[in-house]
Structure 1
């Protein structure tokens, strides 16, 4: 190691295939490694640092990472907090063949992986890197390696970027370009996703704060390491991405969890819970901002009594009533002996700082706790939204604090649109934002809905006009009605092959209320591997199901009920994307669901009756 007398930092320089001398650096909470990888598109070791007793500290290699099947440039960082390492990686397919400048920066609460100046992955560690009597070793394919016992500053990192003018081009190439629409958007990168959304309208700008996710909740050894990310728009068409609103800044913070934003006296207050790494109860707290962009943590915490399950306290939602009193709804369980009932705890405050506990706001009676609550008034009706198992439900009332009525159709979309929350928008409108879930993992694409209010106070859902892609060219349409009939069984009319992702619209008129009708997408013209989008008038049901499946195995995660008007003329608008289908029916109900496999072939069908399909139009989606 070479000492820098100016700042006391030391660094080690290694040549290709060279092992460094043993140097005792102790337990480090800061480290930077800068190296050049000539070509790593095969399984091989590239660099390793071992501490005392040959214990691994850092390993850089080319191979499949634990969470990526593709051949990747992979880094493992070991700390004394856990036996298993934190893993950062980027597929070689994303960055292309070498040479590449690779830089790893460990700053105590965060570790970042840069390739050619582009941040391609990050993790959130705890503990120290043990570098007592450390030895570094480089292997074939590595050169110009430098190791610091400190976290270099951003300005210092910029000095290692050989081509700053090409940085934006590399970001687009490595992480992917930005889509033309915010609908179905996710942050750029190969392991990112949108988590719980927290929309807020300040009278001019529509903000969506959301949990930024990497690895499907698997970061920081499964604690999630979520942070509040932020996008905003004035017109729902042009969106601005902002820096992290509320970040992990301490190693003890396991995750910055879901919450809500409210404004008071020219300041924005972000209320949230912090999941601790030691398993202790989450801490309810808040951060403050003068502009809704840069928040400062208050370092103040809000307590509730032990009549509730403190280990599950989360998702604070704050609102202001007509009398100027602030209310906070918190997800947890009410404890009654051995019995725990999921509920929303209720606190009140006059100043957003001092809170008083009230009786539970609602105990809905489901098997789990009501999550990600939302409360609002709209044209004289009061609404309460909460999610169970990810499925959002709502209740409504003419009174500000209930009693709450359950509508016949009490869900927001289907369970695959996870934990949506709402905010007002210009013109008396109201929008919901959630995310499209992925099987077996957390996070997905952003999904925005327009809420509709019926005369009886019940709610409907539609595609917001501003986020629907209707600009693409029409690639096919039917000049005449398409009639499909079979009174005793199944009939189909093959449309043919449709290239790429597309928007499909049509009107359908069934002649028998007990029939089934709809359309299908599949990978082949035989429709053995595909999905039926099936309308059932007599059941008032719409479902997206595999074309060949056992009837009683229909996936209720991709069905909605109490769909009115399916026995008459039905207008259908569908967005068919790689991996999922999004539908709006009669401009009043929506459903989004994942599909597995290709969607190249399209057909229309009927079963046990006759259906006519009018004004069929297919338009290409813009990229």
Structure 2
């Protein structure tokens, strides 16, 4: 929920349902395809900058998108800085000014507009890249990437560098035009970005992580240290992490490091090979860094995730890409809507993600399930649905959805060779739809866009399934955003333009699946 200058009151909600019972061998309609009438407003769980935030006609003051996010928690409030990606970028002007949301609960967002503007064509921050915020004394420092790819600038300057601005209140920022940090000898100044700065209490010094490459083009997270950032005395220490030959990452963007419990974690994002946000584990901030069996918590549509904690819980902030043109066949574009996960931690130190509690609390309005169509062997008993897809696919669809909704279910399958899951844009599922597919045989959850009967993989996240094991699944929908959570361990973020106003459903193929406690809820 977004408000200009003021927070909207939280519209609360939760779940429940009225279920029906049937068993059909062939597709059959059980009622008119009418969307539910419960508050069908998109409430903005996953926000983007609103239209006309400055009330002018300048393209940079109109509708935009959330790019890389730089969250910072201070005095009971999350200050969520991000790179603003405008819909219109006039020729000759810079781009990606730093804007900000504020939130105390991660469901109500105040939009503050521009915080740090981009520079001119002759300045290093003609375009702005990712950074981070830290407080030293009574002053806040926002370190960020300066990016200038203009040919005239590159004749005597590196393309990327580190800059900073200061503030006393996290609202009014002043650039320090005398400070610039560039790639040291041995590193590539064309790609030198995403400064992540924090105070390392383990070493009693300030650390800065830089995403860059060696001169031989090997991706590294490069470490700089300082005893006092106010003195501008950052000293290079060498790589904190270097991509392995097996990984062969091109760039480890938007690196983040933090301690949670007894373990240290490093996040970074790769947008060329195995796309998405990855993480590593260590017992010390210096490493060595271990790769967990599954090093992604979400798929490639949750990108550039960085974290912040309120002192109690830690959250990962990323963005889910839009498409251009804005339909399910459009090209994936940079920037989109902000998505926030709450991190969970297993006994062995591996991480997972779940829905933030405040988001779950929005969905309090019970919405009755009305079955629309079935195919194959489907049996319903109250709010439990048994789909026997052993011979052919079993499918049950429900009336169309709009606005913001949450689906909940407990899911169990009887083997590890078949597939099961959820389907959206399901008015004509065989020809045109979007499937979230649980694939035990491949140890993953994957999403497919079906067009003309042909499936195309969109995104995936690793997950280990076991037959005859019950998994708690939640699906949050907000406009064209759809985020699936599995057992508090993994998520899969999706952009589904065909979802609003269309049927949704559940399916099983090559297995027998039970969706028990299936429910749909919306905001009150």
Same fold (TM over 0.5): yes
Deviation sequence 1:287-325 (CA, Å, 0-9, x none): 111122211111111233231111211111112222321
The TM-score, its normalising length taken from structure 1, stands at 0.66
1:592 aligns with 2:493: yes
Alignment counterpart, residue 344 of structure 1, candidates 190, 197, 221: 221
Query: Which residues of 2 match residues 281-430 of structure 1 at below 5 A?
Result: 281=158, 282-299=160-177, 300-322=179-201, 323-335=203-215, 339-352=216-229, 353-365=232-244, 366-389=248-271, 391-427=276-312, 429-430=313-314
Alignment counterpart, residue 183 of structure 1, candidates 33, 41, 46: 46
Shift in Å at residue 226 of structure 1? Answer: 0.8
Shift in Å at residue 407 of structure 1? Answer: 0.3
Residue aligning to 1:5: none
Deviation sequence 1:334-392 (CA, Å, 0-9, x none): 01xxx321112221111111111112221114241111110111112111111110511
Aligned length: 438
Q: Is the 8 A contact 2:161 2:189 kept in 1?
A: no
In 2, the alpha carbon distance for the partners of 1:559 and 1:526 equals: 20
Deviation sequence 1:461-504 (CA, Å, 0-9, x none): 11111134633532214724211113233222333444555321
In 2, the alpha carbon distance for the partners of 1:296 and 1:208 equals: 18
Q: Is the 8 A contact 1:203 1:426 kept in 2?
A: no
Shift in Å at residue 563 of structure 1? Answer: 3.7
Shift in Å at residue 262 of structure 1? Answer: 0.9
Query: Which residues of 2 match residues 179-258 of structure 1 at below 5 A?
Result: 180-188=43-51, 191-215=63-87, 219=89, 221=91, 225-252=95-122, 253-258=125-130
Residue aligning to 2:318: 434
Residue aligning to 1:604: 506
Q: Note closer, same or farther for the CA distance 1:575–1:549 as it changes in structure 2 (3 Å cut).
A: farther
Give the root-mean-square deviation of aligned CA atoms.
Answer: 2.6
Structure 2, unaligned stretches of length 5 or more? 5-40, 53-61, 323-330, 370-380
Q: Is the 8 A contact 2:344 2:488 kept in 1?
A: no
Secondary structure of residue in 2 paired with 1:311: strand
Q: Is the 8 A contact 1:538 1:567 kept in 2?
A: no
In 2, the alpha carbon distance for the partners of 1:604 and 1:569 equals: 16
Q: Note closer, same or farther for the CA distance 1:404–1:565 as it changes in structure 2 (3 Å cut).
A: same
Shift in Å at residue 243 of structure 1? Answer: 4.4
Deviation sequence 1:57-99 (CA, Å, 0-9, x none): xxxxxxxxxxxxxxxxxxxxxxxxxxxxxxxxxxxxxxxxxxx
In 1, the alpha carbon distance for the partners of 2:479 and 2:109 equals: 23
In 2, the alpha carbon distance for the partners of 1:234 and 1:191 equals: 24
Shift in Å at residue 259 of structure 1? Answer: 0.6
1:517 aligns with 2:420: yes
Q: Note closer, same or farther for the CA distance 1:566–1:545 as it changes in structure 2 (3 Å cut).
A: farther
Q: Note closer, same or farther for the CA distance 1:324–1:498 as it changes in structure 2 (3 Å cut).
A: closer
Deviation sequence 1:243-277 (CA, Å, 0-9, x none): 42211254534212111111111211111121124
Q: Is the 8 A contact 2:383 2:519 kept in 1?
A: no
Secondary structure of residue in 2 paired with 1:413: coil
Query: Which residues of 2 match residues 33-112 of structure 1 at below 5 A?
Result: none
Shift in Å at residue 413 of structure 1? Answer: 1.0
Q: Note closer, same or farther for the CA distance 1:403–1:521 as it changes in structure 2 (3 Å cut).
A: same
Higher RCO (Cα < 8 Å, 6 or more apart): 2
In 2, the alpha carbon distance for the partners of 1:602 and 1:469 equals: 23
In 1, the alpha carbon distance for the partners of 2:283 and 2:292 equals: 13
Structure 1, unaligned stretches of length 5 or more? 1-117, 119-177
Secondary structure of residue in 2 paired with 1:592: strand
Q: Is the 8 A contact 1:536 1:566 kept in 2?
A: no
In 2, the alpha carbon distance for the partners of 1:314 and 1:291 equals: 25
In 2, the alpha carbon distance for the partners of 1:376 and 1:367 equals: 21
Residue aligning to 1:69: none
Alignment counterpart, residue 450 of structure 1, candidates 318, 328, 342: 342
Residue aligning to 1:56: none
Query: Which residues of 2 match residues 554-573 of structure 1 at below 5 A?
Result: 554-555=456-457, 557-564=458-465, 567-573=468-474
Q: Note closer, same or farther for the CA distance 1:418–1:549 as it changes in structure 2 (3 Å cut).
A: farther
Deviation sequence 1:552-610 (CA, Å, 0-9, x none): x642x411113455751122111234434211112321111122424511232211221
In 2, the alpha carbon distance for the partners of 1:361 and 1:221 equals: 39
Q: Is the 8 A contact 1:391 1:411 kept in 2?
A: yes
Residue aligning to 1:173: none
Secondary structure of residue in 2 paired with 1:313: strand
Secondary structure of residue in 1 paired with 2:176: strand
Shift in Å at residue 192 of structure 1? Answer: 0.6
In 1, the alpha carbon distance for the partners of 2:260 and 2:140 equals: 22
